[in-house]
Amino acid sequence: MIKVDNISKSYYDKVAIDGISLTVVPGQIQGLVGDNGAGKTTLIKCMAGIYKPEKGRIIFSGVGRDTTNEKSMIVDKGSNVATLTRADEKVTNVSAGKHAVEQEGIFNNPSLKEKIGYVSDNNEYIGRYTIKKMLKLYETYFPSFDKDKFEKLNQEFKLELSGKIDSLSKGQKMRLGFMLEVAKKPEYLLLDEPTSGLDPVAKKTFLERLVEEVEKENIGVLISSHNLSDLEKLCDTITILDGGKVRSESGLDELKESLTKLQVVFENGLDEKLLSREAVLSFSKVGNVYTLIIEDYDSKKEKWLKDLGAGYMEELDMSLEELYIALETRKGER
Amino acid sequence: MIKLDLKRDTPIYEQIVEQVKFHVVKGNIKPGMAIPSVRKLALELNITPGTVAKAYQELERQGIVETIRGKGVYIAGESDRKPDLAKVEAAKKSLEPGLLELKVMGFSEDEVTEVIRELYGKLC
């Protein structure tokens, strides 16, 4: 587990992140969203050991692979095979617990950097090197680096190994960064805007390889993106950053359940001033058909709408994108 | 393999449960065969992994699939399928309105049985 505990970091007099806490759990994918300047990249760079936070701590407990984790998406089963595996894991866990390598601070800690893969939003490698030479460098620095794994990934990502890094496009550098960091066989992956710059085919490949690593190797992932529809099908939990602070951290499904999107017909029209009083985050209308986004919708609020003259009502499906925009709009009003 | 209809009232996870069962009954996927992992199916269908996990938990509870940790999700053998009294009752209830319709139109018990045979035959 990587436990970020109340860290802060400023650039000159500008506070970039301010008292952020979060955890990254093996086998889970955590999404990081927020406006430009909300502190996503600074947070990830602190976790990757590139920046040193001024306050707070980052604790890394290396309990090795194959650890059980309660929130795991994998469904436990009752048959003999699973019972055996589970018993094994308990033993591993107990022994790992005793010798758990709990290390504090990733900054200036090369042995930890091997266990944490980091793909930046702006991957600058040594430009005059060929990819082949870069591979050699990784092999020298990281004993765990698995060249076969890199080559297997490259069968899909298709980079020319004799090509110079300077000649790569932004998307190609992103592919290279992902392959290098995954071939390091890390326990955690920190990905900063990994899908920006990737073409649709490369993006599909990237998403498929990423979930495969999580399911097979039980790695823990933190991924930031503005592409909310990508995060939606990928993440178990979503953390929303706002002005350098954590605004919300919850399971994606719970987050979606906290808001309800309704299509409501007000046959006799509606005095719209009444809507903002209760927890209606946003509304739009076509004629007398209103689309409302309501927080914590319950029977009380249903009655309130009916009293306002609501006729036909239908609950609609809401995407993470709509949800995020509704939350942002509310923030703007307060 | 699975197609979602977002306009239907049936929750998405139930649609997944329904369709996996349909393919199993039809013999399109046989015991021992792997089905997509939770995260792969979520990517494919553009839905949250939690929704797929919920569907797979339900299928597992009913003994339709089994999860082998670190390996994947597999269709269980037929003997693993647990009869579930509540489900049987629910299935019976869903047949009632149709039978009533047929009886009103004057179908005899034999004729109704024939209709059911025909429907059952379509599943095999």
Across the interface, of A76, A82, A253, the residue whose CB is closest to B50 is A253
Q: Which residue has the tokens 């499904």?
A: A253
Q: Is A6 helix (H, G, I), strand (E, B) or coil?
A: strand
8 A C-beta contact, residue A279 and residue A304: no
pLDDT digits (tens, 9 = 90+) for A193-243: 999 889 999 999 999 999 999 999 999 999 999 999 899 999 999 999 999
8 A C-beta contact, residue A281 and residue A323: no
8 A C-beta contact, residue A199 and residue A171: yes
More confident residue, A254 or A232: A232
Cβ A211–B70 below 8 Å, yes or no?
Answer: no
Q: Using a CB-CB distance cutoff of 8 angstroms, which residues of chain A are in contact with residue B70?
A: 66, 85, 216
| B12-80 classified as CATH 1.10.10.10 | yes
Q: Is the pLDDT of residue A119 over 60?
A: yes
More confident residue, A112 or A143: A143
- Residue A161: band (very low, low, confident or very high) from pLDDT cuts 50, 70, 90: very high
- Chain B contact present for A234, CB below 8 A: yes
How confident is the model at residue A83, as a pLDDT?
A: 28
Looking at chain B, the number of H-run helices and the number of E-run strands are: 5, 3
In whole angstroms, give the CA distance from residue A255 to residue A146: 38
In whole angstroms, give the CA distance from residue A143 to residue A160: 24
pLDDT digits (tens, 9 = 90+) for B2-37: 888 877 778 899 999 999 998 998 888 889 999 999
How confident is the model at residue A281, as a pLDDT?
A: 83
Across the interface, of A74, A75, A252, the residue whose CB is closest to B48 is A252
ipTM summary value:
0.73
Strands (E), chain A: 2-11, 14-24, 29-33, 55-62, 101-104, 116-119, 188-192, 220-224, 237-242, 245-251, 259-266, 280-286, 289-295, 310-316
How confident is the model at residue B91, as a pLDDT?
A: 84
Q: Is the pLDDT of residue A99 over 50?
A: no
> Which helix or strand (DSSP H or E) is residue B74 part of?
strand B72-75
Q: Using a CB-CB distance cutoff of 8 angstroms, which residues of chain A are in contact with residue B49?
A: 29, 73, 233-236
Q: Which residue has the tokens 């990517």?
A: B43
Question: Closest Cα to residue B24, out of B12, B36, B35?
Answer: B35
Q: Using a CB-CB distance cutoff of 8 angstroms, which residues of chain A are in contact with residue B42?
A: 211, 233-234
- pLDDT averaged over every residue in chain A: 82
Across the interface, of A81, A211, A256, the residue whose CB is closest to B39 is A211
Q: Using a CB-CB distance cutoff of 8 angstroms, which residues of chain A are in contact with residue B40?
A: 208, 211-212, 215
Average pLDDT over residues A66-81: 32
Cβ B42–A233 below 8 Å, yes or no?
Answer: yes
Q: Is the pLDDT of residue A303 over 80?
A: yes
Average pLDDT over residues B48-65: 93
In whole angstroms, give the CA distance from residue B37 to residue B18: 17
- Residue A85: band (very low, low, confident or very high) from pLDDT cuts 50, 70, 90: very low
- Chain B contact present for A81, CB below 8 A: yes
How confident is the model at residue A333, as a pLDDT?
A: 61
Q: Is the pLDDT of residue A62 over 80?
A: no
Average pLDDT over residues A300-304: 87
More confident residue, A93 or A206: A206
Q: How many CB pairs under 8 A join A and B?
A: 72
Which domains can be identified in chain A, with CATH numbers? 2-243 (3.40.50.300), 255-333 (3.30.70.250)
In whole angstroms, give the CA distance from residue A228 to residue A231: 5
Cβ A233–B46 below 8 Å, yes or no?
Answer: yes
Average pLDDT over residues A48-74: 65
Shortest Cα–Cα distance, A205 to chain B (Å): 11
Rg for chain B, CA atoms, rounded: 17
Q: Using a CB-CB distance cutoff of 8 angstroms, which residues of chain B are in contact with residue A321?
A: none
